[in-house]
Amino acid sequence: MLEIKNLHAEVDGKPILRGIDLVVRPGETHAIMGPNGSGKSTLSHVLAGREGYTVTGGSVTFNGKPLLELEPEERAGEGVFLAFQYPLEIPGGNNGYMLKAALNGIRAYRGEKELSAVDFLKLVKARVKAVGLDESLLNRPVNEGFSGGEKKRNEVFQMSVLEPRLAILDETDSGLDIDALKAVAEGVNALRDDTRSFIVVTHYQRLLDYIVPDYVHVLSKGRIIKSGGKELALELEARGYDWLTSEAA
Amino acid sequence: MASNAQDIEKIVDRQYAAGFFTEIDQDTVPPGLDADTIRLISAKKNEPAWMLDWRLKAFARFQQMREPNWAHVSYPPIDLQAISYYSAPKSDKDRPQSLDEVDPKLLETYEKLGIPLEEQKMLAGVAVDAVFDSVSVHTTFRDKLAEAGVIFCSFSEAVQEHPELIQKYLGSVVPVTDNYYAALNSAVFTDGSFVYIPKNTRCPMELSTYFRINAMNTGQFERTLVIADEGSYVSYLEGCTAPMRDENQLHAAVVELVALQDAEIKYSTVQNWYPGDEEGRGGIYNFVTKRGDCRGARSKISWTQVETGSAITWKYPSCVLKGENSVGEFYSVALTNNLQQADTGTKMVHLGRGTRSTIVSKGISAGRSQNAYRGLVRIAPGAEGARNYTQCDSLLLGDRSAAHTFPYIECRNPSAQVEHEASTSKISDDQLFYLRSRGIGQEDAVNMIVNGFCKEVFKELPMEFAVEAQKLLGISLEGAVG
């Protein structure tokens, strides 16, 4: 599904990603861990198409398409979703309205018919309940005045409506208390199935207690220096990153 | 001017000695401005002597005035002698004969706004055989309004049919000496609208542009007068979301509103005059004086405007709060793109006790445009307990546009409360990326952010107008980002 080959990227001439190789197959959940500044967020952003990064080498294919050549909205159309570490506020912009535009944008990209207002409402009302948020969320401005936990749950809610093929969670656990963390994890787990893949970017093992990954990769200085099963995360939790980074050096 | 009712009647009954001018048998007078031009306009319109007299007095004052230069706009000098001050609607042979002859870009915009074909032709000035105005609809409206005793007609008609009201109220809110362009308008105005709502009457419908669509060719010097008698209510909509072309570059309208005791006037404008091309060529100069007089106690005047057109806008819809506990409101969205310049805002003049005013101004600057908010809040010594709240937000798109804020606050009563909040922000790349990563295209993402920014103003517009205004902002911003 997703194949990253020898990906290099830099910001303002400074190399951040220095040869990433990663294959994600349908239905798999990969955790990407690593110390601060290892390039985790950059990887998420490059995959979603944020401006400001220069890809200097390598390739990314998504379902056979060269992902890096697509605009962010086209990537969404292909089924890529990024749950933001810091979801943005759109003052005055209505949450439900935004989601409808997003969903219909994606449907239009796929050559599908727009969803009618009635069908849309039915869909979002069911999904908003599923992630344990109040229906009034739909009429609130996008993320404006939301608590940190609400913002993250709103990301998961958006994901549940847009039904991506690949969801990238960028430090979704940061700033969450344990209850909010569980709620977010439950929302994510409800979306896991044989066809949908996840890349979970996180500092801490904690989140992976709830979203159990199939693979764990350790990123350091822009390279994956170790890959393993879910037990690798536990080992990292116990031993820190130092033994790996010094091993790799 | 005539001093008592008998004199007025006499003058009204007397036919104006227009014979001298009738020999000029043409629809457009030669360019130039002098007292004879004004006599000619008055004669063409078959006006009573008092009306001509009023115009001539205004002209005399105008001649002593100078063009103001304090606004934050720049344009080449306007040669008033090069303008023709009276022209009948264009004859069909001068008009484009079909939509094929009209600027395709303009048609594209009409298409996006979902304007019906017949109406497109009219807006583009194409000669049409069938009169667009639907007679049956028109008549139904008229009947309904007449039943309620509401007078809604062209200004010229009002001069003939309701001279007592015109004489009583014309110039009572915006005196001829008010400013350069108001004085010019007073001298040479050609037509406009007149509204009178009788006592304790709620106007049974929104008075809108669509209704007076055949009064559209009122020319560059439009005059509007709305009077809400005691305890009445009216909502008036002017303008059009479709970009309107006009041969005349200079537009200097005057709008006067009078709200008597316990009356309320809600005046909504969507202005989308041709802004010129991307280099700013050929756009309209919109130099307008709009003022409302809250004359009676507990009266209320509310201005809501969405301004996206014109090369230059110079406009300050204002409220004079004379009546005790009267209320003034101003909600504005002003969007400038390319090389447009806008200097717009409001004046809230608090004279009466317990008067209140609210100002919400949203300025959006894109391209290389200049967008200035200029607002005056004046609390007179007698305005015990007056309150004002002003919120003034600017949104910048790109890095070549500019936003300016010029607030003036004069407070002469220690019991008054005046609040001013202002903000300037940019559409951030992160916001755009956030929306795009959800599957929303770049232009739609920009629109969503801009519409969110304007929400507080849009919710003041009548529903249908609000929907159109949102679409309009999107179209006006096309190509502004990226």
pLDDT values of chain A reduced to their tens digit, one per residue, 249 residues: 999 999 999 999 999 999 999 999 999 999 999 888 899 999 999 999 999 999 999 999 999 999 999 999 999 999 999 999 999 999 888 899 999 999 999 999 999 999 998 999 999 998 988 887 888 888 899 999 898 888 999 999 999 999 999 999 999 888 888 888 888 899 899 999 999 999 999 988 889 999 999 999 999 999 999 999 999 988 888 888 888 877 655
CA Rg, chain A, in Å?
A: 18
Domain boundaries, chain B: 135-427
Report CB contact under 8 Å: B429, A141: no
Report CB contact under 8 Å: A76, B441: no
Sort out which chain A residues have CB atoms less than 8 A from B436's CB and list them: 49, 71-73, 76
Report CB contact under 8 Å: A101, B442: no
Q: Does B448 touch chain A (CB under 8 A)?
A: yes
Report CB contact under 8 Å: A90, B455: no
- Cα–Cα distance, B92 to B87 (Å, whole number): 14
Sort out which chain B residues have CB atoms less than 8 A from A76's CB and list them: 436-439
Q: Name which of A41, A47, A52, A56 is nearest A6 in CA terms.
A: A56
| DSSP-assigned letter for residue A164 | -
ipTM: 0.95
CATH (domain of A217): 3.40.50.300
- Cα–Cα distance, B432 to B446 (Å, whole number): 7
Show the CA angle centred on residue A187, arms to residues A185 and A189, nearest 5°. Answer: 65
- As for how many domains chain A has, the answer is 1
- B231-262 burial, b for 16+ CB within 10 Å, e for fewer? bbbbbbbbbbbbbbeeeebbbbbbbbbbbbbb
| DSSP-assigned letter for residue B49 | H
Which tens digits make up the pLDDT trace of B334-393? 998 888 888 999 999 999 999 999 999 999 998 888 899 999 999 999 999 999 999 999
Tell me if the pTM is above 0.90. Answer: no
**Would you call B301 helix, strand, or coil by DSSP?**
strand
Strand partners, B404: B372
- Cα–Cα distance, B357 to B21 (Å, whole number): 48
Sort out which chain A residues have CB atoms less than 8 A from B430's CB and list them: 88
- Cα–Cα distance, B3 to B403 (Å, whole number): 48
- Cα–Cα distance, A219 to A37 (Å, whole number): 10
Residue with token string 């003058």? B11
Report CB contact under 8 Å: B452, A94: yes
Backbone conformation region of residue B158, classed left if phi is above 0, alpha if psi is from -120 to 50, else beta? alpha
Question: A140: domain range?
Answer: 2-248
Residue B471: phi, psi to the nearest 5? -60, -40
- Cα–Cα distance, B393 to B424 (Å, whole number): 6
Count CB-CB contacts under 10 A for residue B8. 18
Q: Does B456 touch chain A (CB under 8 A)?
A: yes
- How far is residue B461 CA from its own chain's centroid? 15
